């Protein structure tokens, strides 16, 4: 089946905020009383992998219209927007993409973000999600720039299967070297994310658990999601997290652990022999929209309020059009205050279907 190129998402209007300045109080809440605490920033829409569930090669081919460099937010622009988000209550920033380590001089951006302080004077928690392919080379400089932690994606230990899944012939050994380099650099605690696709890599669940057990790395299993519009998602390919836990517990007994924070997306399970923990992220079978405090800034500066949104608010146009920081703060406040997104909770319901107003934005553009 040939797939058509999915256009980037539509743009939602920036709410009219003339004459209604909203000075940041650090306590912004949306219509469901959810605070704004996390900001995910996509620093590039490009990637050196072609994971079958994220950037399938038949869509993201040589003719795919990736963004030109001039469309990307500059590091100055990202820092400026991040500063306003932090004033509104953001405490954690995750850099993502595409593959964030492909963005040239990403360390310079991390260094700038590491200087920001919350209204209470605390430094931010700055993390990054990477496919790990460039991590062996970059772990030390990322740490020196001020990165707190890193999350590495790895979907299999079996090399042939991993190469098929990333569809770019990258070896498992390169990613494992990257994880080792991140550990050596002190980018801890390191998390490893495995997207589980039933019938594709679910046989790797137990080998992955065995490999990382006792290593200090927290392995997390993510249910395969219906993000974007090009991965051909099908519910039959989702393995519910409850079954992931069951399969691991059959080999290594597990007991539930308390969540670190209310907004934590993963449910934590500890090995009964004390050799560490795993997490399961049940995005499909156990929605966590009620505690979703995340905003997403796309590569070209659009603000998305949900991973499954089909439109974003163009903050780049605002800042390139000469808006003051006060204007930007007011726009972000109005946008967040109007937020009611809870796609995963509504998934499959009539209201979710009727809410579809265009193709959903791709994950490689909005960031995971
Ligand atoms: N390239 C980086 C990486 O792979 O870690 C960062 C961006 S990637 C979009 C962020 C995360 O989203 C990865 O852990 C990836 O496995 C996950 N992801 C992508 N598509 C997904 C899908 N359809 N369902 C669940 N997770 C997905
Ligand atoms: Fe690239 Fe990450 Fe998407 Fe894989 S999941 S294609 S590594 S952006
Ligand atoms: Fe947050 Fe949207 Fe995911 Fe719900 S579906 S948890 S609102 S990003």
Q: Which atom of ligand 3 is nearest to the CA of 342?
A: 7
Its sign, for the CA torsion 238, 240, 246, 252, is: positive
Please report the pLDDT score of residue 365 as a whole number: 76
Per mean pLDDT, which range of 18-27, 40-49, 87-96, 260-269 is the poorest?
18-27
DSSP 37-92: -EEEEE--S--S---TTTS-TTTSSTT--PPPGGGSPPHHHHHHHHHHHHHTT--E
Which is higher by pLDDT, 366 or 158?
158
The CB of 44 under 6 Å from ligand 1? The reply is no
- Residue 231 pLDDT class (50, 70, 90 cuts): confident
Please report the pLDDT score of residue 9 as a whole number: 45
pLDDT in tens, 272-315: 999 999 999 998 998 889 999 999 999 999 999 999 898 999 99
Any residues with CB less than 8 A from the CB of 105 and at least 6 apart, and which? 75
The CB of 43 under 6 Å from ligand 1? The reply is no
- d(CA 168, ligand 2 centre) in Å: 11
| CA dist., res. 46 & res. 168, Å (int) | 13
The number of the ligand nearest the C-alpha atom of 135 reads 1
Q: Is 173 helix (H, G, I), strand (E, B) or coil?
A: helix
Q: Which atom of ligand 2 is nearest to the CA of 60?
A: 6
Instruction: Kindly list the distances between the CA atom of residue 164 and the CA atoms of 160, 171, 183, 306, in Å, as whole numbers in the listed order.
Output: 6, 10, 27, 30
Q: Is the pLDDT of residue 12 over 70?
A: yes
pLDDT in tens, 325-346: 999 999 999 999 999 999 888 8
Closest C-alpha to 150, from 178, 193, 182: 182
pLDDT in tens, 68-115: 999 999 999 999 999 999 999 999 999 999 999 999 999 999 999 999
Please report the pLDDT score of residue 197 as a whole number: 96
Which is higher by pLDDT, 302 or 350?
302
The number of the ligand nearest the C-alpha atom of 128 reads 1
- d(CA 228, ligand 1 centre) in Å: 11
Instruction: Kindly list the distances between the CA atom of residue 180 and the CA atoms of 103, 135, 184, in Å, as whole numbers in the listed order.
Output: 22, 9, 6
E strand segments, the chain: 10-12, 38-42, 92-96, 125-130, 149-153, 191-196, 218-223, 254-256, 267-271, 277-281, 294-297, 302-304, 311-314
The CB of 306 under 6 Å from ligand 3? The reply is yes
Please report the pLDDT score of residue 298 as a whole number: 97
Please report the pLDDT score of residue 26 as a whole number: 80
Any residues with CB less than 8 A from the CB of 223 and at least 6 apart, and which? 196, 238, 239, 240, 241, 281, 282, 283, 284, 285
- Residue 354 pLDDT class (50, 70, 90 cuts): very low
For residues 260-281, one letter each, b for 16 or more C-beta atoms within 10 angstroms of the residue's C-beta and e for the rest, the string is eeebebbbbbbbeeeebbbbbb
Its sign, for the CA torsion 259, 260, 265, 271, is: negative
| CA dist., res. 110 & res. 322, Å (int) | 25
List the residue whose alpha carbon is closest to atom 4 of ligand 3.
Answer: 289
What are the structure tokens assigned to 279, written together? Answer: 């997490």
Supply the mean pLDDT for the chain.
91
List the residue whose alpha carbon is closest to atom 4 of ligand 2.
Answer: 51
Report the residue among 41, 42, 46, 54 best suited for mutation to probe ligand 1: largest number of ligand atoms under 8 A from its CB: 54
* Domains annotated on the chain, with CATH: 38-366 (3.20.20.70)
Instruction: Kindly state the average pLDDT of the residues 200-222.
Output: 98
Please report the pLDDT score of residue 19 as a whole number: 54
| CA dist., res. 190 & res. 183, Å (int) | 7
Please report the pLDDT score of residue 349 as a whole number: 65
pLDDT more than 70, % of the chain: 91
Please report the pLDDT score of residue 18 as a whole number: 56
Report the residue among 230, 288, 362, 368 best suited for mutation to probe ligand 1: largest number of ligand atoms under 8 A from its CB: 368
**Per mean pLDDT, which of 135-149, 222-236, 346-360 is the most reliable?**
135-149
- Residue 228 pLDDT class (50, 70, 90 cuts): confident
Instruction: Kindly state the average pLDDT of the residues 130-146.
Output: 98
Note the maximum CA span of the chain. Answer: 62
């Amino acid at each position: 089946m040939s797939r058509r190129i999915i256009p980037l998402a539509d743009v939602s209007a920036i709410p009219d905020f003339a004459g209604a300045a909203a000075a940041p109080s650090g306590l912004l809440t949306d219509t469901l009383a959810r605070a704004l605490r996390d900001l995910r920033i996509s620093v590039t829409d490009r990637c050196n992998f072609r994971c079958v569930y994220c950037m399938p090669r038949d869509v993201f081919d040589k003719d795919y219209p990736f963004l030109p460099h001039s469309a990307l937010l500059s590091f100055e622009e990202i820092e400026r927007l991040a500063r306003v988000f932090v004033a509104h209550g953001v405490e954690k920033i995750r850099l993502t993409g595409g593959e964030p380590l492909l963005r040239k001089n990403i360390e310079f951006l991390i260094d700038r973000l590491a200087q920001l302080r919350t209204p209470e004077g605390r430094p931010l928690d700055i993390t990054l999600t990477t496919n790990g392919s460039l991590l062996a080379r970059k772990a030390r400089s990322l740490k020196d720039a001020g990165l707190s932690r890193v999350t590495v994606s790895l979907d299999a230990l079996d090399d042939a299967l991993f190469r098929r899944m990333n569809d770019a012939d990258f070896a498992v050994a390169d990613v494992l070297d990257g994880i080792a380099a991140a550990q050596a650099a002190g980018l801890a605690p390191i998390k490893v994310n495995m997207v589980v696709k039933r019938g594709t890599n679910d046989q790797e669940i137990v080998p992955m658990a065995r490999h990382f057990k006792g290593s200090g790395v927290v392995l997390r299993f993510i249910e395969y999601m219906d993000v974007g519009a090009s991965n051909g998602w099908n519910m039959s390919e989702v393995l519910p997290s409850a079954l992931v836990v069951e399969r691991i517990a059959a080999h290594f007994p597990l007991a539930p652990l308390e969540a670190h924070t209310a907004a934590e997306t993963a449910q934590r399970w500890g090995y009964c022999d004390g050799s560490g923990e795993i997490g399961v992220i049940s995005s499909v079978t156990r929605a966590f929209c009620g505690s979703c405090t995340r905003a997403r800034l796309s590569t070209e500066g659009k603000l998305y309020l949900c991973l499954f949104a089909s439109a974003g608010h163009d903050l780049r146009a605002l800042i390139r059009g000469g808006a003051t920081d006060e204007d930007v703060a007011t726009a972000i406040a109005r946008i967040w205050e109007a937020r009611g997104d809870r796609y995963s909770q509504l998934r499959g319901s009539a209201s979710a279907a009727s809410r579809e107003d265009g193709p959903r934005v791709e994950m490689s553009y909005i960031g995971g």
